[in-house]
Amino acid sequence: MKLAARLDRIEPFYVMELAKAAARVAAGPLCDPAQGGRRMIRLNIGEPDFGAAPAVRDAVAQVAQGATPYTDALGLPALREAISRWYGQRYCLAIAPERIAITAGASAGLQLACLALFERGDEVLMPDPCYPCNRHFVTAADAAPRLLPTGAAERFQLGAEQVRQAWAPATRGVLLASPSNPTGTSIAPEVLADIAGFVRERGGVTVVDEIYLPLSFEAHFGHSALALGEDIVSVNSFSKYFGMTGWRLGWLVLPPALVPAVERLAQNLYICPSTLSQKAALACFQPESIAEFERRRAVLKDRRDYIVPALNALGLTVPVPPDGAFYAWMDISRFHADSWTFAHELLESAQVALTPGRDFGLADPQRWMRLSFASAMEDLEEAVARLREVLA
SS3 assignment, position 59: helix
Alpha carbon distance 359, 368 (integer Å) = 10
Answer yes or no: is pLDDT of 8 > 90. Answer: no
Torsion of CA 154, 358, 103, 229, to 10 degrees: 10
Angle at 43 between CA 209 and CA 211, to 5 degrees: 15
* % of the chain surpassing 90 pLDDT: 89
- CATH architecture under which domain 68-285 falls: 3-Layer(aba) Sandwich (3.40)
For the stretch 229-260, pLDDT in tens is 999 999 999 999 999 999 999 999 999 999 99
Do 5-51+289-391 and 68-285 have matching folds? no
Answer yes or no: is pLDDT of 190 > 90. Answer: yes
Alpha carbon distance 308, 331 (integer Å) = 12
Q: Which CATH number fits domain 5-51+289-391: 3.40.640.10, 3.50.50.60, 3.90.660.10, 3.90.1150.10?
A: 3.90.1150.10
| DSSP assigned state of 323 | S
For CA atoms 180, 245, 54, 353, the dihedral sign is negative
For the stretch 306-318, pLDDT in tens is 999 999 999 999 9
The answer to whether 231 and 205 are in contact (CB under 8 A) is yes
The answer to whether 16 and 45 are in contact (CB under 8 A) is no
Alpha carbon distance 25, 345 (integer Å) = 11
The answer to whether 148 and 156 are in contact (CB under 8 A) is no
**Residue 14: band (very low, low, confident or very high) from pLDDT cuts 50, 70, 90:** confident
Helix/strand/coil (H, E, C) string of 221-255? HCCCHHHHCCCCEEEEECCCCCCCHHHCCEEEECC
Q: Where are the domains of the chain?
A: 5-51+289-391, 68-285
Alpha carbon distance 72, 77 (integer Å) = 8
Alpha carbon distance 338, 291 (integer Å) = 42
